[in-house]
Amino acid sequence: MDNPAVEISGLAKSYGSTTAVDGIDLRMERGSLLALLGPNGAGKTTTVEICEGFRRPDAGRVRVLGLDPVADSSRLRPRVGIMPQGGGAYPGVRAEEMLRLVASCAANPHDPAWLLDVLGLAGAKRTPFKRLSGGQQQRLSLACALVGRPELVFLDEPTAGMDPQARRLVWDLLAALRADGVSVLLTTHLMEEAETLADQVVIVDHGKVVVEGTPHSLTLEAGEAAQLRFRARTKLDTTLLAAALPEGYRVSETAPGSYLVEGAVDPQVVSAVTAWCAQQGVLPEQLQVGRRTLEEVFLELTGRELRA
């Protein structure tokens, strides 16, 4: 389909001497969920705010549902839902009042009572905004973004500060929206969020796209399980073990007694590792074949932890 929900090319934005976005290209298909993942200050919020029409880029081209977010803002507004970072509302407004007010602006809104219920806010519907917990305020903000039945939603760190139970409610709702064909672009620095929800993950750092792909493709190497871990006594000779494997495999002791074999792991490689251990009189324990995590992908590409 050549009609993307969001299309960005050559996007750049600086604040004074700070370069926030430094040439981002991105394409998000309709009906998909894209997670913009990166550490603090990577340029995620700036990118999303430009898509929302709240900021003007210094350079580049942005199209949202085929339209220019600034020039066509009045045509986009009824079709797009926005949950800004941190949210916010008049402190005295009650949760349900707030949502009904937003719903009244939409042509065909969802039932506010249903949405409050789905997001676990039914018991707090009469609570003034300022007395809601941080996680409840976030969920109300999400409800406001969704109540107008948008085709596309921008969610800036939608589950930041939520407890695991509330986060799960939000994830379930987002998965249901996606299944209904709503396009979702969210920012996060939670790997698990991106891995659980996203069709496409775009990892950004220092205002640039570091890598993108499906969670599955990013955490695999060459279509194979990319690592094998096991525990054994400390200080095994990892160079010797690497020499017993086909060329290109890396072996390291990541913590005392914890070993990591990196490279495409197939049955022959598992067998070579266990055979080598047998030669050394070592029993490999907790042997585990698995994919890399997005955290490891990020570390490998940037040399830094994602959670700065």
Residues within the interface to ligand ATP (CB under 6 A): 15, 18, 20, 38, 40-46, 85, 189
Do residues 258 and 250 make contact, with C-beta atoms less than 8 angstroms apart?
Answer: no
* Residue among 39 and 112 whose Cβ is closer to ligand ATP: 39
**Closest approach of Cβ 2 to ligand ATP, in Å?**
29
**Closest approach of Cβ 42 to ligand ATP, in Å?**
4
* Residue among 42 and 194 whose Cβ is closer to ligand ATP: 42
Rounded to 10 degrees, what is the CA torsion of 277, 282, 286, 288?
-10
**Closest approach of Cβ 3 to ligand ATP, in Å?**
27
**Closest approach of Cβ 189 to ligand ATP, in Å?**
6
**Closest approach of Cβ 82 to ligand ATP, in Å?**
15
* Residue among 24 and 99 whose Cβ is closer to ligand ATP: 24
What lies within 8 Å, CB to CB, of 37 at 6+ separation is 44, 187, 188, 189, 191, 194, 201, 202, 203, 204, 294, 298, 306
Q: What is the rounded distance in angstroms from the CA atom of residue 257 to the CA atom of residue 264?
A: 22
Do residues 132 and 93 make contact, with C-beta atoms less than 8 angstroms apart?
Answer: no
* Residue among 8 and 42 whose Cβ is closer to ligand ATP: 42
* Residue among 14 and 127 whose Cβ is closer to ligand ATP: 14
From first CA to last CA, the distance across the chain in angstroms is 37
Rounded to 10 degrees, what is the CA torsion of 159, 163, 169, 170?
0
